[in-house]
Amino acid sequence: MERCKWCCDDGIVQKYHDEEWGMPLHNDRKHFEFISMEVMQCGLNWTMMLNKREIFKKCFSDFDFEKISQYTESDIVEILNHDGMIKSRRKIEAIIGNAAAFRNIIQEYGSFNHYIWSFSNNESLIYLKHQQGQPETKNDLSDKISIDLKKRGFKYLGSITVYAHLQACGIINDHTPTCFMYNKLVRMGNVRYIDD
């Protein structure tokens, strides 16, 4: 079975690729989990985030954004002292602030899922130039969403981080055409090909 080359470790990264990366995601809590892990990743690598996922779940109430938005200084200190946790006060504070901003989007749009998928008209996007060997780490869509999220108070969500989220949650299908997941996702429907 052929896969995207970046994931072939026969371990945690491959499992993430096969079971999660690029699958259309429509669960608010899961969106917040991915966004929080992407915040923690800044300057680090995704394999480390996957290995620390259970620690993040313990530290951040299993990514319950309602609870996280109410965290206080004592919660921050407890997280910083948790064994194996990334010791970045700024990232921890960003996740807490992001939880409050996330809730505000839900109040406005009914769900974060509705908000984020509205940028692609509820379609999974396939950029043909990516399939032709011209990959990107950000684009006009991620720029637009990043600017909007920052206006809403989100931190650590620049265009590159937002692009990674769009790939992870299936708004952008960036599996290589030879990967078994690529055709699986195409068959799920609601796909738009972009040739620019």
194: β partners? 127
> Which one is catalytic: 21, 46, 71, 156?
46
Contacts of residue 151, defined as CB under 8 A and 6 or more positions apart, other chains included, come to: none
Catalytic, 46? Answer yes
The whole-angstrom distance between residue 15's C-alpha and the CA centroid of its chain comes to 16
E-strand ranges in the chain read 124-127, 191-194
How many angstroms separate the first and last alpha carbons of the chain?
Answer: 30
Catalytic, 33? Answer no
CB 68 within 8 A of CB 75: no
179 has binding-site annotation? yes
> Which one is catalytic: 2, 19, 20, 38?
38
> Which one is catalytic: 16, 21, 71, 117?
16
8 has binding-site annotation? no
Report d(CA 91, CA 40) in Å as an integer: 6
Catalytic, 6? Answer no
Tokens 């720029």 belong to which residue? 143
**Cα separation values, 122 from 9, 30, 114, 136, 159, Å:** 32, 17, 8, 21, 20
Binding-site residues, in ranges, read 4, 17, 175, 179
Which of the residues are catalytic?
16, 38, 46
Annotated binding site for Zn(2+): 4, 17, 175, 179
